Amino acid sequence: MYIADEKRYDTMVYNRCGNSGLKLPLVSLGLWHNFGDTGVYENMKQMCFTAFDHGITHFDLANNYGPAYGSAERNFGKIMKEELHPYRDELLISTKAGFDMWKGPYGNWGSRKYLIASLDQSLKRLGLDYVDIFYHHRMDPETPLEETMGALDSIVKSGKALYVGLSNYDGPTLRKATAILSDLKCPFIINQNRYSIFDRTIENNALKDTAYELKKGIIAFSPLAQGLLTNRYLNGIPTDSRIATDGRFLKESALTPEKLAQIQALNVLAGERGQTLAEMALSWILKDDKVTSVLIGASKPEQILDNIKIIGHTDFTEEELQKIETIVQG
């Protein structure tokens, strides 16, 4: 049976999520990749142990993480049951629904039927009575926002989630959703969005500034741009890389000569800061107080240890920030 490190809280930084009472670790572990049925269960366990032993209390899932759909929740549920259950009250577990999950008109988007049924299924796979945060995973252009937000409120009032969040929303829709959830007195505290040096969508669609204004937290996913902001592609495409072996989330067309030149220039700047490119990219996400936590993915425990080296090293000079902008904007 796993026994957590006694010093697990000694070095991690915990940020308050908006104006809520909840704090998130500076670095959270996402289970989007490498926790499905194609992964190695013993490796999954060791990644979870490594994370928690170093103060990462937040584990982030979604209903369709895999492959196959549901398998990441099922595998993490097994780890919870066999190893982590004594620490349930020290853990922050989140899941989501909003993308395709099962066949037919009720297994996708944002209807009340889908969200409530999906969370019931997630709880069974996880072996939990509740999750700490339940997200609507994406905006639904057809379902009334009032229905989707009402479903989130019902889920909290049923005791199946403590807090709710929104993922992949834009600023204007976030503002409307916040008003509805506030009227319902529903504890909406956090937004989850893609954000990296290469992807500024939440800046361009006003999500980042709106969340800050409304005192809601932000947790950023894909901070390394699916591996582009690491040393993996400094000299082209390795044969065992995600581009070469998968191609679903990162395609070869993404690594243009211009992009490669940007990656190489950013790597030089990172070296000047005494960081790897990945460390600088993660630190950049947390350069101001508008982002609560950064979600990392990992394929082995050592990557988690590398990523938490950013703790205490998220400050940038104005000159460094301007150099990054010059590199990215060309």
Spatial separation of the C-alpha atoms in residues 125 and 71, rounded to whole Å: 8
Q: Identify which of 239, 235, 35, 17 has the alpha carbon closest to the alpha carbon of residue 135.
A: 17
The chain-wide mean pLDDT, for the chain, equals 95
Q: What is the CATH number of domain 14-230+279-315?
A: 3.20.20.100
Spatial separation of the C-alpha atoms in residues 209 and 217, rounded to whole Å: 11
How does pLDDT run across 69-98, given as a tens digit for each residue? Answer: 999 999 999 999 999 999 999 999 999 999
What pLDDT is recorded for position 254?
77
How does pLDDT run across 114-170, given as a tens digit for each residue? Answer: 999 999 999 999 999 999 999 999 999 999 999 999 999 999 999 999 999 999 999
**Predicted TM-score of the model (pTM):** 0.95
Spatial separation of the C-alpha atoms in residues 40 and 71, rounded to whole Å: 12
Residue 248 pLDDT grade (very low, low, confident, very high; cuts 50, 70, 90): low
Domain boundaries, the chain: 14-230+279-315
